[in-house]
A and B are shown apart, each in its own frame.
Chain A
Amino acid sequence: MTDGRTTDNAVDRAAKAEAYFTEGYNCAQSVALAFADLLGADEETLKAVAAPFGGGMGRLREVCGAVSGMFMVAGLALRADTLDRNEKNALYALEREMARLFAEQAGSIVCRELLLTRPHGDTHNSQKPKCRELVGIAARIAEAKIFADSDAGAAERATEEDGKNE
């Protein structure tokens, strides 16, 4: 088990997610796109499915989009059969664990609370350093909890590495 901060992969994913954010993608999109190679969904679909979760859902300032993005990565990567109660419960438990880690590192999972210390208006992402940091935190947690801790993650990575002929 990891604390979601330490692996090299997690650092790479965080850097990738932060780069997407700097490019202008919203918080949820940035986290999801950083894992595009592992999700079996094309980038255009990922951009569309994650788009509405930015700004705590369309600037409703509810759950941080980086958190929603991290959850979405779990859903797309693990492909749980949610009609099976055990699989659904396992997905939900993983989400709550990731949310707990995020709150521990960021102070909250709610956009309006996270922005209390660094409020920003409708501005370019370069003016949102706090959000970029949150995107990185979410990506590190997702890498650690979805891909490093789980058997499914190990299998995903093995497949990916096979594909690269490494």
Chain B
Amino acid sequence: MSDITATTRGEKAKQLYAKGYNCAQAVALAFVDVTGVDEETVGTASAPFGGGMGRLGEVCGAVSGMLMTLSFLRRPNTLDPREKAALYAEERALAEEFRAAADSILCRDLLLMRAGRKEGRGLACPDLVALAVGILEEHENARSNK
């Protein structure tokens, strides 16, 4: 998708997270070179999705950041039912990949797994951020190689 490889983009996202950006921001900001959306807009639009949406424990912000980035890459005309359905189908595919690799897409479950209080891999937030980046990168690479 660009000259940045999946690994280095995942590292970039992890660095953003370490710097203090939340999970959603770290994923979305790691792709600004390919989405063509300014950092200010990406950072402020994704900010509310950290901590499963303001620490509500809902959908993991790394997933939200990944889906937001997908939409920036596609820019579908969602008034066309087929384009909308295609975006949604891609989202579900990406979310399922995340679920398969992390055992949940919900922040509250992921945190419980991390704490050893629920069965699952228990990936740490920086690793979930890198996972989301990697899934989208691979998805894009597979698509461009079709």
Contact = CB atoms under 8 A, between A and B. Distances in A.
Contact of A63 (B47, B53, B81): B53
A114 to B, nearest CB: 14
A79 B44 contact: yes
Interface residues of A, number: 45
B25 A52 contact: no
A47 B84 CA distance: 12
A57 B78 contact: no
Given A91-B48, A99-B56, A83 B72 contact: no
Contacts of A162: none
A4 interface: no
Contact of A93 (B54, B78, B105): B54
Interface string A108-152: 011000000000001000000000000000000000000000000
Nearest to A59: B88
A60 B91 contact: yes
Of the candidates B40, B48, B63, B72, the one having the most CB atoms from chain A within 10 angstroms of its own CB is B48
Interface in B37-93: 37, 40-41, 43-51, 53-56, 58-59, 63-64, 67-68, 70-72, 75-76, 78-79, 81, 84-85, 87-92
Contacts of A23: 79
Main secondary structure on A side of the interface with B? helix
Interface in B11-55: 19-22, 25, 37, 40-41, 43-51, 53-55
Nearest to A123: B81
Contact of A58 (B25, B37, B75, B92): B92
Given A57-B59, A58-B87, A75-B47, 8 more contacts: A49-B37, A51-B76, A57-B67, A62-B59, A67-B53, A88-B47, A92-B48, A92-B54
